[in-house]
Homo-oligomer: A and B are copies of this chain.
Amino acid sequence: MLSDLPFTLSALRDAYAAGTRPEAVIAEVFARLDAANDPGIFLHADREAALAAARALGAPDGRPLWGIPFAVKDNIDVAGMPTTAACPEFAYAPEADAFVVARLRAAGAIVIGKTNLDQFATGLVGTRTPHPVPLNALDPAIVPGGSSGGSGVVVARGIVAFSLGTDTAGSGRVPAALNGIVGLKPTLGALSASGMVPACRTLDTISVFALTVADAWAVHSVAAAPDPEDAYSRAFPAQPLSPVPPRLTIAVPDAASLQTFGDRVQEAAFRATLTELRTRGVEIREIDFTPFYDVAAMLYEGAWVAERTAAVGARLTEAPETLHPVTRSIVEQGLALTAVDAFRGIYRLAELRRHCTAAMAGIDLLCVPTIPCFVTREQDAADPILHNSRLGTYTNFVNLLDMCGLAVPCGTREDGRPASVTLLGRAGQDGLLAGVAGLVEAGPLGATGWHRPAAPVPAPEPVPGEVAVAVCG
């Protein structure tokens, strides 16, 4: 039964190999979307275009994403669909696909539509939209997460196999934690930003949501390529999913600096994951996270707000009523900042980066809870800034420090909510993150109820003169 088919890459490939037609998969996508009955997920979905794309694929031809349905956050261009950034008055009709979308389509993937977001990608709650708010896939009382809210929910519900989000402050990771899926935030510049509406242009990246690390990595591998048209594009050598090195040291916040805002269950879940990592032979080193929090504070309290102001442009002064009130209240703070403030912020970041670099001496990766606690729709409505800020505790500093991140589901908390940690690496270590994630990836696939496919853990490489300790899971 197609209605039972898990939308993972491996299951879809098996179905196609067995003769299933992509047109049937697209029909099933829309059947699932109808069944979800959530008008907040997509701002634009095009069944006919998707069916036409499916028909045009012809016979399976071995392309890595042949027939794979995906969704695109509505601040990324898809030719033939409007781009709005959740600001209807901002809408334009892009002439071409964003660079990354074009690569995914060229690999055979099929766009279903454009997903809802916190307007202009400013937010981590997913509720700052003039449209209906997408419902959290696991618990409608909880915020869906943002800013890539629709892209997180649509994957967690199994409607598409993967989605594109964007990530400046955590928008590609927070929805993953809140919906029990994987969120890959690549190193800045690895995925071209051509055809993406900027939030903070020096800190933005497109991101990938999927049900499993293997799927997210497969999508990333197709999407990543140097783009001569994007001034912030960077060339990284082609990366296989790295094997777990035989000696691995991961730093985590020490007891004094771990922040969960009173969520003891979240703390317990995080410690359980660390225990699992230790069991797998990883050395866990507790460090003071203060320098990282100091960096995080700069993203909204410092000069970088002005990047959002620059991105919104004249709208802020000429048509402020077209902005979501919370978005507007944040972005207009940038109008008061001077160029001297901006450069002083840049200097301070350089100083703080030095402290963070020192804190990471001898460390391979960091591991943090993806979110410190859960936030209800009610809490968000009562204070739309405070709880949003809390959600960024472990994400806001990452792009400012030019690190890559991978939010990984790691089972279920004792209260039934999804557990998630984020592995963080230095620029270019994306492949290592994806490899190490296999040590902890566990639990339900979003809200789908599907069985998690076995993740192949790459074999550790023995160091000379030493016998590798086999790590199985």
Contacts and interface: CB of A to CB of B under 8 A. Distances in A.
B306 A231 contact: no
Contact of A351 (B231, B337, B344, B350): B231
Nearest to A348: B231
Contact of A343 (B232, B306, B335, B340): B306
Contacts of A347: 201-202, 231, 310
Instruction: Place the interface of chain A in its size category.
Output: 20 to 34
13 contacts: A201-B343, A231-B347, A231-B354, A232-B350, A306-B339, A309-B339, A310-B340, A335-B338, A337-B338, A337-B339, A339-B341, A339-B342, A342-B342
B334 A339 contact: yes
A307 interface: yes
Contact of A353 (B228, B231, B307): B231
Interface in A386-432: none
Interface of A: 201-202, 228, 231-232, 303, 305-307, 309-310, 334-335, 337-344, 346-347, 350-351, 353-354, 358
B343 A343 contact: no
Contacts of A358: 228
A294 B341 CA distance: 25
Nearest to A341: B339
B346 A303 contact: no
Contacts of A335: 338, 340
Contacts of A343: 201-202, 306-307, 310, 342
Contacts of A341: 339
Given A306-B343, A334-B340, A337-B338, 16 more contacts: A201-B347, A202-B346, A228-B354, A228-B358, A231-B347, A231-B351, A303-B339, A303-B342, A306-B339, A306-B340, A309-B339, A337-B339, A338-B338, A339-B339, A339-B341, A342-B342
A305 B334 CA distance: 19
B306 A338 contact: yes
Nearest to A313: B340
Nearest to A201: B347
A358 B351 CA distance: 32
A248 to B, nearest CB: 24
A323 to B, nearest CB: 16
Contacts of A350: 231-232
Contacts of A231: 347, 350-351, 353-354
